[in-house]
Structures are given as C-alpha cells and as structure tokens.
Amino acid sequence: MHLGKGPMTDLNHLEHDLLNQVEAAGDEAALETVRVSALGKKGSVSELLKTLGAMTPEERKERGPLINGLRDKVQTAIVAKKETLAEAALDARLSAERVDVTLPVQEGPETRGRIHPISQVIEELTAIFADMGFSVAEGPDVETDYLNFTALNFPVGHPAREMHDTFFLAPDEKGERKVLRTHTSPVQIRTMTSQKPPIRVIIPGRTYRHDSDQTHTPMFHQVEGLVIDKQANIAHLKWILEEFCKTFFEVDQVKMRFRPSFFPFTEPSAEVDIQCSRKGGEIRFGEGEDWLEILGCGMVHPNVLRNCGLDPDEYQGFAWGMGIDRIAMLKYGMPDLRPFFEADVRWLNHYGFRPLDIPSLVGGLTS
C-alpha cells in the first residue's frame, strides 16, 4: 500500500477508522471481523507491514515505527474490547440467571418424598436383627383358624380366642371361616413346618384386631422373633432383647425386668419392662427409676413344637413380640397412633424420613 504524500495523515485516518470499528463492535463475532480486516493476512495493517521490505533504510527508519505502532494500538484496542464484551456477556447472564439466596432451596424430586415412620422402623429392626444373624420371614394377612389359633395352642373354645376380638371372614365352601391374622405368630408355624432347625427369624407385618383408640387401631404392625435350636434358652433371649433395646433406642445401657405372664404359645411366659425416665413429660430410656412395658416373650410351648413336627425333647426355643407402631411412638415422640394411618401429608412431612437416609448399623440408625 502506498501512503502517498501525507503518510502521517493516512496512518492517522486509518488508525481512527479502525479504532472506531473496534469500539462499535457489538459482539465477539463483529470484533473478529474487524480484527481480520485489519490484522489478518490481507488486512489493511498487514498490507502496510508488507511494504516495509521494499523501502529504503531511511524510509523504513521513519515509517516502520509508525506502522508497527498502528498495529500495536489496534491489537491493544481489540484485546480491551474483547474483555469488555466478555464482562458484559457475563453480567447479562448473571442478571438473567440470578438466584435469590434468601429463599429456601427447593428440594429435588428424588428427595421430596418421605418414608413413613413404620417403614423406617421396620428397616431399623431388620438392620439390628440381621446383625445378630436373623433373617426375615413373611406370611399372608388372611390366615386359617388352625394356623392363627389351634397350632399355637389355642384349642377350639379356648377363652383366649375371644381376647383377640378377631375379624372373621365369611365361611368358605367347606364352612371354614378364615381370619385376618391377629398376630404374626402364624408365620412362626409356617416357618417351623417348612424349615429345619436351627431357626432364627424375625416376622414384621400387619395384624388386625377390634380395637380403636389413642393407642390402638383395627390394623397395626407387629414384629415377632423366633429362635429354635437344641440349646436355645432364656439367657439367649434376655441377651438378644437387651442388645436390641440398646441399639434401637440408641442408649449405652438399659435395665430390663421380666414379669411372669401367660401366653398359650409359650411356657414360661413373661412381660418385659424397660427402664425409663418420665421427667418433664418426656420418656427417656437408659435412665430414671420408672418402668415401661414394651413386649412379651417366653419359651416356645412344647405343644407348639409338636404341632410343627418337632420333638420338644430334642428342640427348644423362644419367641417374643412387640408392636412396631408402639416402639416407633416411643422412639420418635409420637403421641397418637391414629395419625399413622390417616394419610395426612403434613404429618408425614413432619414425622417422615428422607428417602436417601437408609438406616444402618454402620451409618447410624437415626443419622
């Protein structure tokens, strides 16, 4: 490019023109177009730089710094404009994607639901007893009269049948009236008739009785445990129940007392009380001078073993049972049993558990 008679004027004009183009660029694409037109292979400044080789030493000494200075000014202006455009783009994005940190964070769909306290406690029970070598056994909610009563040493006409206030179904074609199981004990019979000892199972599940008040509902949940072996005894039963109570209620120690009682399916039988404190209207376990009944237990009656085809002279065992809803109320401070089954989302949000907080002995049952 020939600069003509006024090279300084031409350079000043070109510089003014290029810097105006840089300043007018509205985005990085427009700025890149200006850069190519000025500093690209065939850009206006690049063409000027090419003329330096054909100049005399005197001309090169005079015009070289001017052309190189132009190049440097244009490059500096382009870099500065690029930073300005980047900052403007970031500001626009921040403005469009602004988050009000004073508002509560919305939970994602994977954490929005809640695990029902009954499901939570069943998971806790399973974790505790699995650590002691127990497996889980299950059975149907609708049972035969034989499995629910007779096989468990409730003979026909036994007054204990009336104590359960049972839901009887209509007679079938054989005239047999099945029942909604009044306890999970029929699963003990099913287990003993289908497995050979040694047996170590827990049996959580729904049960049904004609009760309805603050601490009773027509349908509730129960967990029973069963151990059958040649040397199973009361000492084993006591240790298991103590370890369970310490782990479930998360206390370092707990005192228990066994009071003689009567159940048709165990002999001897006992009600179990656990040490607690009731100060301030709050029940706390592992301390205090009060007692709270928590479960029933005993050695499996020889008649029950015989009904399952086991020789009571060779095998013996023990069993226990407790209400899952009741121990959930005791542990988590729920005053009334009825809301467990009312499907009130507000209650569930308050007492429920996050779905990813899976109970375990390693991670902590209530962590």
- Do 215 and 288 lie in one domain? The reply is yes
Q: Which of 61, 93, 125 is the last residue of a domain?
A: 93
Question: What pLDDT shows up at residue 3?
Answer: 45
Tens digits of residue pLDDT in 275-302: 988 887 788 888 888 999 999 999 999 9
| Residue 339, CB-side half-sphere exposure with 13 Å CA sphere | 17
- Do 86 and 145 lie in one domain? The reply is no
Residue 261 lies in a domain: yes
The boundaries of the domain holding residue 151 are: 116-351
What distance in Å separates the CA atoms of residue 306 and residue 367, rounded to the nearest whole number? Answer: 45
- Do 196 and 325 lie in one domain? The reply is yes
Per the structure block, which two tokens stand in for 104?
A: 């509560």
Question: What pLDDT shows up at residue 244?
Answer: 95
pLDDT tens track of the chain, all 367 residues? 444 445 556 778 888 888 888 888 888 888 888 888 888 888 888 888 878 778 888 887 777 888 888 888 888 888 888 898 888 888 888 888 877 778 777 777 777 788 899 999 999 999 999 999 999 999 999 999 899 999 999 877 776 566 557 888 888 888 888 889 999 999 999 999 999 999 999 999 999 987 776 667 888 999 999 999 999 999 999 999 999 999 999 988 889 999 999 999 999 999 999 998 888 778 888 888 899 999 999 999 999 999 999 999 999 999 999 999 999 998 888 888 888 888 888 888 888 888 777 676 656 666 5
CB–CB of 273/289 below 8 Å?
A: no
Place of tokens 């300005």: 84
Q: What is the 3-state secondary structure (H, E, C) of 151-198?
A: HHCCCCCCCHHHHCCCCECCCCCCCCCCEECCCCHHHHHHHHHHCCCC
Residue 101 lies in a domain: no
Residue 307 lies in a domain: yes
What distance in Å separates the CA atoms of residue 331 and residue 286, rounded to the nearest whole number? Answer: 12
What distance in Å separates the CA atoms of residue 265 and residue 256, rounded to the nearest whole number? Answer: 22
- Do 68 and 135 lie in one domain? The reply is no
Residue 231 lies in a domain: yes
CATH code at position 248? 3.30.930.10
* Continuous H helices in the chain: 7-24, 28-39, 44-50, 57-96, 109-112, 117-131, 145-148, 160-163, 185-194, 234-248, 302-307, 324-332, 345-351
CB–CB of 288/275 below 8 Å?
A: yes
Supply the DSSP symbol for 255: -
Residue 138 marked ligand-binding: no
What distance in Å separates the CA atoms of residue 223 and residue 241, rounded to the nearest whole number? Answer: 13
Question: What pLDDT shows up at residue 325?
Answer: 92
Question: What pLDDT shows up at residue 194?
Answer: 95
Question: What pLDDT shows up at residue 1?
Answer: 44
Domain total of the chain? 2
- Do 86 and 120 lie in one domain? The reply is no
Residue 280 lies in a domain: yes
User: Which sign does the torsion angle of CA 28, 33, 38, 39 carry?
Assistant: positive
- Do 88 and 127 lie in one domain? The reply is no
CB atoms within 10 A of CB 183: 21
Q: Tell me which amino acid residue 28 is.
A: E
Tens digits of residue pLDDT in 328-347: 998 888 888 888 888 888 88
- Do 80 and 123 lie in one domain? The reply is no
Residue 359 lies in a domain: no
CB–CB of 188/199 below 8 Å?
A: no
pTM recorded for the entire structure: 0.67
What distance in Å separates the CA atoms of residue 355 and residue 163, rounded to the nearest whole number? Answer: 39
Q: Which helix (H) or strand (E) holds 207?
A: strand 199-208
- Do 262 and 325 lie in one domain? The reply is yes
Residue 200 lies in a domain: yes
Residue 7 lies in a domain: no
- Do 85 and 218 lie in one domain? The reply is no
- Do 210 and 85 lie in one domain? The reply is no
- Do 140 and 34 lie in one domain? The reply is no
- Do 36 and 137 lie in one domain? The reply is no
Per the structure block, which two tokens stand in for 58?
A: 């005197």
